[in-house]
Structure 1
Amino acid sequence: MDTVDVGLFGPGSVTWKLHQEPILFVAGLRSLYLQALHPRAMAGVAQNSNYRQDAWGRLLRTAEYVGTTVYGTTDEAERAGRRLRRLHARMTAIDPATGERFRIDEPDLLRWVHVTEVESFLDTARRAGVPLDADEVDRYYTEQRRTAALVGLAPETVPGTAAEVTDYYQRIRPELRMTREAAETALFLTAPPLPWKLSLPARIGLNLGPPRWAYLGIAGTALALLPSWARRLYGGLGLPTTALSADVTVRALRLALTALPRDWREGPMQRAAKERAAQLTATAGTTG
């Protein structure tokens, strides 16, 4: 009998517990604001990506990749990782400070993107009210070393606990700064072009104020959720009141999202993974 494959994590993982939360779309935006503060990483994106022309397509592809690594089968996750590694292996960029050409799959750059992404997922979820104790937080970081391996990192070189993530940020902060590319990217993230189906009515004179203002509110919340040192790099004061306001907003948004019907909150990959997990449970029950 074939073994049921629940992927890299499975129903007992903190990863599945966390990634079922629709509030993580705010975390994804937070991670992009944070990643832009690394000049070399930002140069790699700016010189190799058409994100300005295809912002929403790139966002959907990124979301699909994350969904595959979290909820896909082991084979699907590994194939997604191989495709990403092949893509990155072909890309280089010019360091804006030194003029040096570098590969964008350098371990230091891959590690920066990985840590900012998983830390954003975790921090946003906890501040939105997702109940996770300290042990679960460390388990999540340890579990996510598996996704780090997919992009080509040695798992042991990636922070695997909250304390290690804190230490990592302390070490890398001297390398971070606001550059022109970071400022332009942050502005673009805050006011991107609307998706085609929303932009079309605007061309024929219909008012799209509510969607635009709603997105601006989400982008402002993502910025306010950044660590205080990152907000200061963006020119903010980093005051505690900013963080408190973001906490209140993201908690309210999570409550609104979790009130939506389950079919609206769960994508096809998540539903398929749950079906495989249920099959695994049923199989274990018949053989126990």
Structure 2
Amino acid sequence: MDVSPPVLSSLRSRIGSDLFSRVAGPRGADTRARIHGTPGPRWFGPDRPIRAVHGDASMFIGGLSALLLQSLHPLAMAAVAAHSGYRGDPWGRLQRTSTFLAVTTYGTAQDAQQAVDQVRAVHERVRGTTAAGEPYHAADPHLLMWVHVAEVDSFLRAHQLYGAHPLDADGCDAYVSDTSRVAAALGVSDPPRTRAELAARLDAYRPELRATPEAREAARYILLRPPLPRIARAPYAVLAANAVAMLPPWAREPLGLPRLPALEKTCVRFTGHALTRTIRWAMVPPPPTLPPARSPGAA
């Protein structure tokens, strides 16, 4: 049965609005207008790969995969479990993270720096001790580096698998270089600037990684018990399956996550492409950015 254009348009608007409100929060429209509509220099020009990656529907898969990967560092996971409120306010945490990414990627240089300063102030206050007696501090450059490389690797993997326009080799290096601008501002010492450097840094952390009880519980909560209405559970299950399938093989076993290569390359990946195409169709693109004056430090 054919669906009339008005009905299709209404469905598209409703799905897009629901998704946007989940990710951006109740004031998301105002925040988006300020980010994209405020004139001034930006850290990244319109042609930079970071804009293409962070603006694509593949980020839904990449972001979830990044959370799972980041949880394997016991100090990072202890900080999240004790201070982030991911269980009590998961949507608020998602909205704060998505707003930070949007501001630093698309906003004015002044707003980007202000967002970074706010995050650094929060990191400075996050201190504690793990259940094993290991001290942690969220502002530790070594810990910041892990969070950064796990996030960037996950975002880029997702974009290359599910993005509307995957990057070529030079574009991948340029994306990693773009993200280093934000990482350095956050306090990461000498962040990677090419995909090869990113892979090497990620590999160097592997001896430190393990799945603590907090990490396994976080994985169960994220994958199996997210606070979602019934209608959203099936699409989320597709998102979760693809986020798991995208993890490096060595990251799955500690978290007790299955690996079924044949199924993942066919059924799971097919559903991932279908989901991201649907999200891309439903989400209304942001208004065009005003032509910015490039700052001396812009990438």
TM-score of the two chains, using structure 2 as the length reference:
0.79
TM-superposed CA distance for 1:187, in Å, is: 0.7
Q: Distance in 2 between matches of 1:232 and 1:41?
A: 19
**78, 86, 110: which one aligns with 2:144:** 110
- The separation in 2 between residues aligned to 1:29 and 1:222, in whole angstroms, is 6
Deviation of the 1:239 alpha carbon: 4.8
> AA paired with 1:160?
R
Contact 2:238–2:271 at 8 Å: present in 1 too? no
Equivalent position of 1:241 in the other structure:
262
User: How big is each residue's C-alpha offset from its partner over 1:172-206, in whole Å with a ceiling of 9 and x where there is no partner?
Assistant: 111111210110000111134435xx4xxxxxxxx
Counterpart Cα distance in 1 of 2:251 and 2:265: 16
> In structure 2, what is the Cα distance between the partners aligned to 1:181 and 1:169?
21
Unmatched 5+ residue regions in structure 2?
1-38, 295-299
Does structure 2 conserve the Cα–Cα contact (< 8 Å) formed by 1:229 and 1:238? no
For 2:281, the equivalent position in structure 1 comes to: 259
Question: What CA distance in whole angstroms lies between the structure 2 residues aligned with 1:87 and 1:139?
Answer: 29
Do the aligned residues in 2 keep the contact of 1:26 with 1:124 (CA within 8 Å)?
Answer: yes
Q: Which residue of 2 aligns with 1:40?
A: 75
Asked whether the equivalents of residues 69 and 147 of structure 1 are also in contact (C-alpha less than 8 Å), the reply is yes
Query: Retained in 2: the 8 A contact 1:6–1:71?
Result: no
Is 1:144 aligned to 2:179, yes or no? yes
- CA distance, structure 2, for counterparts of residue 238 and residue 190 of structure 1: 15
Hey, what does 2:20 align to over in structure 1? none
**Shift in CA distance, 75/223, structure 1 to aligned 2, threshold 3 Å:** same
Q: Which residue of 2 aligns with 1:64?
A: 99
2:51 is the counterpart of 1:16: yes
- Corresponding residue for 1:232? 253
- Please say if residues 158 and 246 of structure 2, whose CA atoms lie closer than 8 Å, have aligned partners that are also in contact: yes
Q: 1:184 to 1:77 in 2, by over 3 A?
A: same
SS in 2 for 1:21: coil
Which residue number corresponds to residue 30 of structure 1? 65
**CA distance, structure 1, for counterparts of residue 196 and residue 47 of structure 2:** 23
Q: State how 1:135-174 maps to structure 2 within 5 Å.
A: 135-154=170-189, 157-174=190-207
Q: How does 1:139-218 map to 2 (within 5 A)?
A: 139-154=174-189, 157-194=190-227, 198=229, 208=230, 210-218=231-239
- How far 1:61 moved relative to its partner? 0.8
Give a deviation string over 1:193-235, Cα, whole Å, max 9, x none: 435xx4xxxxxxxxx2x32222122112211111111123223
Distance 2:289 2:77 in 1: 39
Alignment-derived partner of residue 204 in structure 1: none
Paired residue secondary structure (1:158): coil
3-state DSSP class of the match of 2:290? helix
- Asked if residue 222 in structure 1 is aligned to residue 236 in structure 2, the reply is no
Once the two structures are superposed, residues 12-34 of structure 1 have per-residue CA deviations (whole angstroms, 9 ceiling, x without a partner) of 11111222212212211110011
Q: Tell me if the contact between 1:225 and 1:247 (Cα under 8 Å) persists in the aligned partners.
A: no
- From 83, 91, 104, give the equivalent of 2:118: 83
Report the Cα offset of residue 168 of structure 1: 1.4
Query: What's the CA shift for 1:237?
Result: 5.3
Q: CA deviation at 1:79?
A: 0.1
TM-score, normalising length from structure 1? 0.82
C-alpha distance in 2 between matches for 1:265 and 1:234:
36
Contact 1:93 1:104 in 2 (8 A): no
Per-residue CA distance 1:76-98 (angstroms, 9 max, x = gap): 0000000110111111020333x
Q: SS in structure 2 opposite 1:127?
A: helix
Q: Is the 8 A contact 2:162 2:276 kept in 1?
A: yes
Alpha-carbon distance in 2 for matches of 1:181, 1:148: 26
Partner-residue secondary structure (3-state), 1:102: strand
Q: Secondary structure at the match of 1:93?
A: strand
Of stretches 78-87 and 242-251 in structure 1, the one that deviates more from structure 2 is: 242-251
